[in-house]
Copies of this chain bind each other. A is one copy, B any other.
Amino acid sequence: MTRAELILQIKSKKTFLCVGLDPDLDKIPKHLQETEDPIFEFCKQIVDATAAYCVSFKPNNAFFEAYGISGMISMEKTILYIKEHHPHHFVISDAKRGDIGNTSTMYARAAFEHLKADAVTVAPYMGKDSVAPFLQFAGKWAIVLALTSNEGSSDFQLMEAHGTELYKQVLEKVSAWGTEENLMFVVGATKATMLTEIRALVPDHFLLVPGVGAQGGSLAEVCRFGLSKDVGLLINSSRGIIYASNGADFAEAAAVEAAKIAKEMSAYF
């Protein structure tokens, strides 16, 4: 999906919500456990229920890989289902990949050619040749980790070198390796005020912002400091939406939560 197509979706639907798919068999409603493929069934119903309120879905690879081959089959089916039934949604394979050049090429093929995702999240530690292979596919995107929202983000990302935090150096260096048409950054929402400094470095890149929703009402803060002239934000919520209820009404409950966030977002258009 091109940048223009993504922006068109966002503006026409007045939402920049991304729904994260982290299917956990311990949390999936009991009545789905008896179906042939509970993980797919859960994801499918979440996708159908929330599609109207979001522009993107983000399957988290780990939550499928943990179930081995059957989990991988559920992931393929989920992405295929989204592509078939919601073809205008931007699909992010949240895989946090990154390796030497020829190996990263293989990961890019897995995500883009095999899974047909639009984007894949990429870890920057191994440098340019680990990121560049993800930028070679027309209409596909690398979403590189800059500042994450977890506690451990302070261990290295906030470390200062030459007077600047590492995550800012990642933003500066990596943004030179691609364009605003094939490169986004992950920027954790727990540090919304940092978004001003981040926008000074990457004014036009899309930012994928995790940690909004279940974790608290920072959406207004993120929008205040993070919105660009083309919106430039994909804000993700996973658990707050998909596990809003663990009963038979889980899909409706997910839709209610997604709709709440979408409504808040619509005020920015």
- A87-126 toward B: CB 8 Å interface, digit per residue (1/0)? 0000000101111110110110110001100000001111
Can you pick out 19 interface pairs between chain A and chain B where the beta carbons lie within 8 Å of each other? A65-B107, A66-B107, A66-B114, A68-B76, A68-B115, A72-B72, A96-B99, A96-B126, A123-B125, A124-B155, A125-B125, A126-B152, A126-B157, A127-B155, A128-B152, A129-B150, A156-B173, A160-B161, A161-B162
Give the residues from 188 to 237 in chain A that come closer than 8 angstroms, CB to CB, to chain B.
none
Which of chain B's residues have a CB closer than 8 A to the CB of A22?
103
Which of chain B's residues have a CB closer than 8 A to the CB of A151?
127-129
Size class of the contact patch on chain A: 35 or more
B152 touches A129 (CB 8 A): yes
- CB of A34 to closest CB in B, whole Å: 22
- CB of A79 to closest CB in B, whole Å: 11
B150 touches A126 (CB 8 A): yes
- Does A153 touch B at the CB level, under 8 Å? yes
Q: How far is the CA of A62 from the CA of B76 in the complex (A)?
A: 16
- Does A145 touch B at the CB level, under 8 Å? yes
Give the residues from 16 to 32 in chain A that come closer than 8 angstroms, CB to CB, to chain B.
22
User: Assuming A62-B107, A100-B148, A151-B129, is B124 touching A156 (CB within 8 A)?
Assistant: yes
Q: How far is the CA of A124 from the CA of B125 in the complex (A)?
A: 8
Which of chain B's residues have a CB closer than 8 A to the CB of A65?
106-107, 110, 114
- Does A159 touch B at the CB level, under 8 Å? yes
User: Assuming A98-B96, A100-B148, A159-B161, is B126 touching A153 (CB within 8 A)?
Assistant: yes
- CB of A171 to closest CB in B, whole Å: 12
B99 touches A127 (CB 8 A): no
This chain's copy number in the assembly: 2
- Does A60 touch B at the CB level, under 8 Å? yes
The listed residue (B67, B109, B160) touching A114 by CB distance below 8 A is: B67
B156 touches A106 (CB 8 A): no
Which of chain B's residues have a CB closer than 8 A to the CB of A66?
106-107, 109-110, 114
Which of chain B's residues have a CB closer than 8 A to the CB of A129?
150-152
A150 touches B96 (CB 8 A): no
Q: How far is the CA of A124 from the CA of B157 in the complex (A)?
A: 10
Which of chain B's residues have a CB closer than 8 A to the CB of A96?
97-99, 123, 126
- A68-88 toward B: CB 8 Å interface, digit per residue (1/0)? 110011001000000000000
- A38-81 toward B: CB 8 Å interface, digit per residue (1/0)? 00000000000000000000001011011111001100100000
Other contacts beyond A127-B157, A159-B169: 4, CB < 8 A: A62-B107, A66-B114, A100-B152, A156-B173
